[in-house]
Amino acid sequence: MNAKQPKLISGNSNKELASAVARRMSFHRGEKVQLCNARVERFNDAEIFVEVFENVRGEDMFIIQSTSNPANDNLMELLIISDALRRSSAARITAVIPYFGYARQDRRTKARTPISAKLVANLITEAGIERVLTMDLHAAQIQGFFDIPVDNLYAAPVFALDIQHHFKNLSEITVVSPDVGGVGRARELAERIGADLAIVDKRRAAPGEIAAMTVIGEVKDRSCIIVDDICDTAGTLCKAADLLKETGAKEVHAYISHGVLSGPAVERISKSAMKSLVITDSIQPTAAILDTPNIRIIPTAPMFAQAIQNIANGTSVSSLFDRSSLAPIYEAAYPAA
């Protein structure tokens, strides 16, 4: 092939994932791939400075940067790296954003409030980024906020592989959505593994206060798997797990795409009724998360590396939604897949 291979560069938000993607791409190419030599630093007044030490003229560049906590700093790093690459005559710049921050502000919930997700989309586009690769956007309509192509990967196919590997009797599993809005996500996973579906319906007395929760569906003597895209403080998740146990569930697990896990989340999970919480590494896990016995992390590097390679080669990214395409990529982790 005469086509140039993609080059990777990373901000500071999730260096471990970026390095894992580079290692995986080394496996694809049969030659060592390293992150582009650059520095992303802060001046004494916290201004961000970026310097790229390699020639990127005419290169197909991929910036790996989650806009997780601290969201503003990581977002600015992404924008400034893009500007540095654009001014250095990179041929194309793709932002690989495993976790897209501000995604929960995707609409006006009351008068005189912003739609911050749209604002962030505008900033990304104006910075010179020509394509976005992300995973499990909080709301599908966010793709429409961009005037550039957006590839939204899904964690559900990887979750399905993990569940089939760790659970012996799939006929005893019920997939549970923690709210009505997440039914589509839960249904997709349930269909992939051939499981039943249940919903936890919650009613709020006031913003942030849950008045009552009700289980819709059969969970008695079942292994329940709660599925959601984001777990922040884990309050709703732990209450849903408690309710499922009270309703007769044999055991409760949770699969969450993005483990924000801020504030008291880790402590709540460690003391909760959940037997396990499975998250991806879209957000770099803290030491507290790594030290919690009932939290397990699924790698996303194989999926992102393949998606980057497909984008660079002009081939299908949606093929990664299918088990037949994804299982070989995760063969080392799930040999029986």
Does 31 count as an annotated binding residue? Answer: no
Does 235 count as an annotated binding residue? Answer: yes
- The predicted structure's pLDDT at residue 171: 93
Length of the chain: 337
Q: Tens digit of pLDDT per residue, the chain (337 long)?
A: 445 789 999 999 999 999 999 999 998 788 889 999 999 999 999 999 999 999 999 999 999 999 999 999 999 999 999 999 999 999 999 999 999 999 999 999 899 999 999 999 999 999 999 999 999 999 989 999 999 999 999 999 999 999 999 998 999 999 999 988 899 999 999 999 999 999 998 776 555 556 678 999 999 999 999 999 999 999 989 999 999 999 999 999 999 999 999 999 999 999 999 999 999 999 999 999 999 999 999 999 999 999 999 999 999 999 999 888 899 999 888 876 5
Does 179 count as an annotated binding residue? Answer: yes
Q: Is 202 a catalytic residue?
A: yes
Contact 223, 175 (CB under 8 A): no
For the chain, list the domains and their CATH numbers.
Answer: 7-154+301-329 (3.40.50.2020), 156-298 (3.40.50.2020)
- The predicted structure's pLDDT at residue 202: 78
Does 258 count as an annotated binding residue? Answer: no
- The predicted structure's pLDDT at residue 69: 96
- Of the candidates 264, 317, 318, 259, the one whose C-alpha atom is nearest the C-alpha of residue 290 is 259
Q: What is the pTM of this model?
A: 0.94
Q: Which of 7, 32, 168, 202 is catalytic?
A: 202
Q: Which helix (H) or strand (E) covers residue 38, if one does?
A: strand 38-42
- The predicted structure's pLDDT at residue 337: 56
Hey, which residues does 93 pair with through a beta bridge? 61
Cα distances from 168 to residues 135, 252, 256, 279, 332, in angstroms, run: 28, 15, 21, 20, 19
Does 138 count as an annotated binding residue? Answer: yes
Tokens read off for 269: 């999970």
